[in-house]
Amino acid sequence: MLIQTFHTSECVPAAERAEGGSPDAAVVIDVLRATTTMAWALENGAEAIQAFADLETLKASAAAWPAEQRLTAGERGGARVEGFDLGNSPLGVTPELVRGKRIFMSTTNGTRSLDRVRDLPLLLTACLPNRTAVARRLIERGVQNVWIVGSGWEGAYSLEDTLAAGAVGAALMELAPAAGISVAAGNDEMVAALALWQQWGHDPEGCLRTASHGQRLERLGNHDADFQCCAALDTLTIVPMQAEPGVLKAS
């Protein structure tokens, strides 16, 4: 399996210009906090997450869904969108609130990354809690060429997404040495992600708190519980998988 990572959706090349050609799968990462929240929402029984890059489209789609079966969730600049049911904390998507509900979600960066690769044949989301489960799913599905796409912050690099890209890459290498996991030629980003994981994998929470977005969240208020949840390793076996364009379901 050929693996490569891109720091943000803006770094993702046109498929025909990419090393190894068009990928058969993408894994989107937004450790703080969109993909962690998505995984926990599905773990806690949400029917699906419907992701939107844009708030107006989200509101129109949510309005067309039965009121008792929907929730709106999202943030801008780290704060809950005014009038929405939920923000973007994995602690907020409790079973009592989300069971059986479709969550119409938009975040500053994570849902934009999802949008960028939504036409690929297989689309998964990863976070630190499900990084081994994601690696397993890619192997089970016989994926040959995967793009691991970070979300960054408004087009800029994010340390925590690179850490998680390294965590998924390392899990792939541990689980499938015989399948020949190899880094795509020229993708220094994946080499750096694996090195970052080696350096900081023993203290993911320290990495998340050091990252610029971690610092941003700390400035917004106490996010200790979010940091602990987002930094937890392999606590989930659920993998959000795109079932139809923009709609993620548990797998």
Catalog residues that contact ligand 3SL under the rule CB under 6 A: 30, 32-34, 75, 78, 88, 107-110, 151
> Can you tell me which residue has the tokens 């750096």?
192
Min dist CB 75 to ligand 3SL, Å, is: 4
Q: Give the residue with the Cβ less far from ligand 3SL, 2 or 163.
A: 163
Q: Give the residue with the Cβ less far from ligand 3SL, 39 or 183.
A: 39
Q: Give the strand order in the sheet containing 2-6.
A: 79-80, 70-76, 102-106, 48-51, 247-250, 240-244, 123-126, 25-29, 145-149, 2-6, 182-183
**Cα 211 versus chain centre, distance:** 16
Whose CB is nearest to ligand 3SL? 107
Min dist CB 36 to ligand 3SL, Å, is: 8
Q: Give the residue with the Cβ less far from ligand 3SL, 35 or 145.
A: 35
Min dist CB 106 to ligand 3SL, Å, is: 8
Q: Give the residue with the Cβ less far from ligand 3SL, 147 or 153.
A: 153
Min dist CB 151 to ligand 3SL, Å, is: 6
Neighbour count for residue 249 (Cβ, 10 Å)? 16
d(CA 48, CA 77): 24
φ/ψ of residue 99, rounded to 5: -55, 125
